[in-house]
Structure 1
Amino acid sequence: MNVNESLKNALFTKEFTHNPYPVYEKLRQSDPIMNLQFPDGRHGWLIASYAEAVEALKDGRFSKDVTKAMGVEQTSVFSTNMLFSDPPDHKRLRGLVQKGFTPQRIADMRSHIQEIADGLLDAVSSKDTMNLIDEYAFKLPIIVISEILGVPAEDQDKFRLWSNSIIGASNQVMNEQVVQHMNEFIAYLKDWFAKVREQPGDDMISQLVIAENQGDRLSEHELYGVVTLMIIAGHETTVNLIGNGVLALLEHPEQRKLLQEQPELIHGAIEEMLRYNGPVEFSTSRWAAEDLEFHGVHMKKGDLVVIALNSANRDSKQFEDPDLFDITREKSQHLAFGKGIHLCLGAPLARLEGEIAINTLLRRFPHFELQGDVDELEWRPGMIVRGVKEIPISLRS
């Protein structure tokens, strides 16, 4: 078996999900643009090195719209959004959403996010242990994005269930339960949009439902896609940023001590957490819009292209000592939120939530410890998000 075949066999295994970085290093050295079969059965190209990843993320020859690239219809009602569109549709859809994510609006949310973080930790203050993911890392961002969108508090847990199913569907995990959850979500959104049309509020969903951009309203499918993207991207990224970030601190006690002594280092710490073990494993799909050559590799029109973001963020050609977790590292141009026109719209909000959540946890419970061994933690399956299912911690030493 040659090196490439060995690497292909190592990809997407349970061991790879637990720690993909040794495989990524070998991949960057031997075949940074690898042709392979993905877990869902599709054949395509996996880009693992930083320079090539940046180019691919910004290259207009790679289309995000499968309808244009391959001449096939979108199979999911949730895919009609700016993440899966090209210009000019991308600019129109993004323009309708970005009004709710201006730097000033996000900055104005700081004190409220701090209140949410303190409230969540108040709720566990009498306990000796907590599940960091379920009781904190999930709850904080889902509360924030739900308030922005106008999701009732009593429905927030449903949205977590539905978003997990939609992520599963993106990995072609289409079992009966996933289909049921997706249908429940569609029914919920239909009812919600109808109510908003009758009585709009001042939340973002109301703005999107009644919005017009040069006389062009969002279609029903576009509404599904935009709302779904904001719900998933608006909390999934932050859940795993917080979870992976806390894990990095637990595994590097000297860095944790430094951050506790100098909480003002949190901005650089968040950037390093995003680089070191980012919350998004792979980019969403792109397709070659034409026959092309990319760094000596010949791709045919319709070829699938996926970028290994977390591999690019450990590339020694871009980052000095890339496997070292260092919260004082000079600001790095990591790719945790992508690059180019599809750069994550909610990145500033995710950063702010991560900063507040982690610094507040360190301040409120300075002696928290992981219960059990880090090697026993179960990582979530799939190709999009990177995060663990649970992080049990003791709140007091």
Structure 2
Amino acid sequence: MSPDTLFQRITEYANRADPYPLYAELRGNGVTRQEGGSYLVGSYHDIAALLHDPRISSDSRNRADPDTVPLLRRGPQPAAFIGLDDPEHDRLRRIAMRPFGPPHSPGRIDALSTEITRVADELADAFRDRGRVDVVEDFAYPLPVTVICRLLGVPHADVPRIRGWTNEVIASVDPAPGKDEEDRREAGLQARQAMGAYLGDLADKRRTDPSDDMLSALVHDSGPDGRLTRGELMATATLLLIAGHETTVNLITNGALTLLRDPEARRRLREDPGLMPGAVEELLRYEPPVHLLPQRTPLADVEVSGVTIPKGAPLVLVLASGNRDPERFDAPDRFDPSREDNQHFGFGGGVHNCFGAPLARLETQLALRTLLPGLEGFQLAEDPPPYRRSPILRGPRHLRIERASGA
């Protein structure tokens, strides 16, 4: 098929369960211009170079065609720092990082280990004697959403509202066109504004009644970069809440699916628990939670592998394709928990590398360590499982497993 339809085919839901043949086709064709005018990049070395290239903008307002600026950039709430360039991005990111981890809050993530393990054990115990389990609903979703809500200071009773808003936001950034596209984006905008307003009100309460959560820290921080405005706090907290659990849900679920399909890997991890940190790194390469970065824009004409990408053109970096590039990784389609030299794109790269990576790594290691014994005696009820619609944040919507006969 024509390479200028690759983005269309990658984003089609029919290919969600196995996009990897399309990624191989992309790498074989090099940098390709798509029917809509965007440019697709899928090789490891090209992606790595572009992630560190200061001429590549994360701010979609730099697009040559203003109609391609996402709807979520519009409205009264400012953009989160993930969609900004330096110096604005750097200032907001530094403020957000101060209460999150080193060097200003070095013990915050490590201190969560006991709590994460306790929550994981409770969730696993609840279905240990059942004959049928949905790993997403019963384990992979409630664990990280509980952790991020407690970290930020969001009451657990409000988790259903958070989930509803998050689903609308994620659906709204689906790049696949459809007859309901504008409705999805409008719903996403409204959900983002509602979540921001909710978190802003919660932060206002922390001004007079502070706690030990991150919202309190952000409200009262008077570091060298100044304080967040109320709008900046709303946008930052919304980003932290969504990104702080959505990607980890996918990572845990993809990990469980991979291990259910690979009995030998399960055996190795049971016999040598010390392999788990490396296994999580391999999962980030092999089945990453984020497959595409669809909102990059060159600030000048940029040549990539002999192709000139013009200033202002939409640029899509297919991170999951780079993670399976045989020019960078030996046997890239094999899951190897002991793989060395594993510099994957599981958390992006460059100045926008995910600063929540330490928390995601810790949660996934502890989650899979807890889940692993319980997987014995279970088998997939359906393979492939039903996937979520998003080609960006890719993972099963459900992962139903059932006890094997005689187990």
Considering the TM-score relative to the shorter chain, is it more than 0.5? yes
What displacement does 1:194 show?
Answer: 2.6
1:165 corresponds to 2:165: no
Contact 2:38 2:313 in 1 (8 A): yes
Structure 1 equivalent of residue 94 of structure 2: 95
What displacement does 1:249 show?
Answer: 0.8
Structure 2 equivalent of residue 344 of structure 1: 354
Q: Take 1:61 and 1:347, find their aligned partners in 2: how far apart are those partners? A: 25
Q: 1:148-227 alignment to 2 at 5 Å?
A: 148-171=151-174, 173=181, 174-175=183-184, 178=188, 181-214=191-224, 216-227=226-237
Structure 2 equivalent of residue 330 of structure 1: 340
Structure 1 equivalent of residue 14 of structure 2: 15
Q: Which runs of 5+ in 1 are unaligned?
A: none
Contact 2:39 2:315 in 1 (8 A): yes
AA at the equivalent of 1:132:
V
1:384 corresponds to 2:392: yes
Q: Take 2:391 and 2:61, find their aligned partners in 1: how far apart are those partners? A: 22
1:274 corresponds to 2:272: no
Q: Take 1:234 and 1:281, find their aligned partners in 2: how far apart are those partners? A: 17
Structure 2 equivalent of residue 319 of structure 1: 329
Structure 2 equivalent of residue 58 of structure 1: 52
Contact 2:63 2:314 in 1 (8 A): no
CA RMSD of aligned residues (A): 2.3
Q: Take 2:57 and 2:205, find their aligned partners in 1: how far apart are those partners? A: 35
Q: Take 2:5 and 2:164, find their aligned partners in 1: how far apart are those partners? A: 36
What displacement does 1:6 show?
Answer: 5.9
Contact 2:302 2:308 in 1 (8 A): yes
Contact 1:271 1:331 in 2 (8 A): no
Q: Taking structure 1 as the reference length, what is the TM-score of the superposition? A: 0.91
Contact 2:77 2:193 in 1 (8 A): no
Residue aligned with 1:105, SS? coil
What displacement does 1:50 show?
Answer: 0.3
Distance 1:123 1:341, change over 3 A: same
Q: Take 2:202 and 2:339, find their aligned partners in 1: how far apart are those partners? A: 45
Q: Which runs of 5+ in 2 are unaligned?
A: 176-180
1:33 to 26, 31, 34: 31
Worse-matched range after superposition: 52-61 or 160-169: 160-169
Residue aligned with 1:185, SS? helix
1:123 corresponds to 2:126: yes
1:147 corresponds to 2:157: no
Structure 1 equivalent of residue 178 of structure 2: none
Q: Take 2:263 and 2:363, find their aligned partners in 1: how far apart are those partners? A: 22
Q: Taking structure 2 as the reference length, what is the TM-score of the superposition? A: 0.89
What displacement does 1:278 show?
Answer: 0.7
Distance 1:329 1:95, change over 3 A: same
Count of matched residue pairs: 389
Contact 1:77 1:224 in 2 (8 A): no
AA at the equivalent of 1:271:
E
Q: Take 1:179 and 1:95, find their aligned partners in 2: how far apart are those partners? A: 26
Deviations 1:359-390 (A, max 9, x none): 1111345323222x212x11111232010100
Contact 1:289 1:301 in 2 (8 A): yes
Q: Take 2:27 and 2:58, find their aligned partners in 1: how far apart are those partners? A: 24
Contact 1:80 1:221 in 2 (8 A): no
Residue aligned with 2:109, SS? helix
Sequence identity, in percent? Answer: 37
Residue aligned with 1:101, SS? coil
Q: 1:255-294 alignment to 2 at 5 Å?
A: 255-294=265-304
What displacement does 1:231 show?
Answer: 1.0
Q: 1:229-244 alignment to 2 at 5 Å?
A: 229-244=239-254
AA at the equivalent of 1:80:
A
